[in-house]
Amino acid sequence: MKHVAVIGAGTMGNGIAHTFAQNGFKVQLIDISETALKKGLETISKNLDRMVTKNTISEHTKSETLTNINTFTSIPEGVKNANLVVEAATENISLKLDIFKQLDKACDKDTILATNTSSISITQIAAATTRPDKVIGMHFMNPVPIMQLVEIIRGYNTSDAVTQAIMDVSITLGKTPVEVNDYPGFVANRILMPMINESIETLYNGVAGVKEIDTVMKLGMAHPMGPLQLADFIGLDVCLSILNVMYEGFKNPKYAPCPLLVNMVRAGKLGIKSGEGFYDYTANRKAENVSKQFSR
């Protein structure tokens, strides 16, 4: 498995492309937007520069990593010769199903199709193809080059051989793969998102402020980042999408998104990527901001 195609040049996609390329894989990075591809490559280069500065990698490794990445704006062209395709598009079921239909037609019959989805059913995605045995979840954590965990999610029809191949390639990347079954949210987000949602409810109900909630969780529970800051880092729209998938999948009110989260997403307060979420990032500061605007 030497040639890998990555669909999507955003935060997760460029991180996945970076990780494969740094470990000697030839990477075909695909996005419909030339601007997104350029931005993705710039991000990879900056992250590599940071690693060189910290003496984590050499200048030679940086150069080789960038050389290993080629960009494409067409799926059929971009997936040629790929042994593995990793989809890292927006967390939208209609979009993912459409992409996997295209991949099924464009890829060689032996190509493994993986999705980086953080909550959507692998079985449902696989059903959009004629190769459900070769469709699997490969859920990387952000930032991909640094975080060690990869959740490997088997769909209902995913074969043992494909599961083992993806476990092996994850280890080759220096990651620790953990196999889980196909239920909404898998393991990571089934546990994480209710905690984030309850933290937002705690703010919404006026129990404490943003900084206070995050401080309690950092100092009291030894979390490296508070749940509200983490939500900003993930993206509040992504958190909302995952909670909606889990709520629909389980029909359990404990997964229902907090109204404050819904209102913030409607207002475009998405966290770091929009410059403002539970904290204000517009002037490189972390100041409580939107909580008072959208609380009861």
Q: Binding site for NAD(+): residue ranges?
A: 8-13, 31, 91, 96, 118, 142, 273
Structure token pair of residue 62:
């940086």
Q: Residues within the annotated binding site?
A: 8-13, 31, 91, 96, 118, 142, 273
The question of whether 139 is a catalytic residue gets the answer yes
Q: How far is CA 267 from the centre of its chain?
A: 23
Residue 269 falls in which region: left (phi positive, over 0), alpha (psi -120 to 50) or beta: beta
CB atoms within 10 A of CB 8: 24
Query: Are 40 and 31 within 8 A, CB to CB?
Result: yes
Catalytic residue among 14, 116, 189, 199: 189
Query: Are 262 and 240 within 8 A, CB to CB?
Result: yes
Sheet of strand 69-72: strand arrangement? 69-72, 26-30, 3-7, 84-87, 112-115, 135-140, 149-154, 176-181
Catalytic residue among 68, 151, 241, 291: 151
Q: How far is CA 70 from the centre of its chain?
A: 21
Catalytic residue among 18, 68, 121, 139: 139
Q: In whole angstroms, give the CA distance from residue 69 to residue 83.
A: 15
Catalytic residue among 83, 118, 121, 199: 118
The question of whether 201 is a catalytic residue gets the answer no
Helix 59-67 with 34-53: angle, nearest 10 deg: 160
Tokens 């209609």 — which residue? 94
Specify the length of the chain in residues.
296
Query: Are 28 and 4 within 8 A, CB to CB?
Result: yes
91: three-class secondary structure by DSSP: coil
Q: In whole angstroms, give the CA distance from residue 197 to residue 184.
A: 16
The question of whether 118 is a catalytic residue gets the answer yes
The question of whether 274 is a catalytic residue gets the answer no
Q: Which residues are catalytic?
A: 118, 139, 151, 189
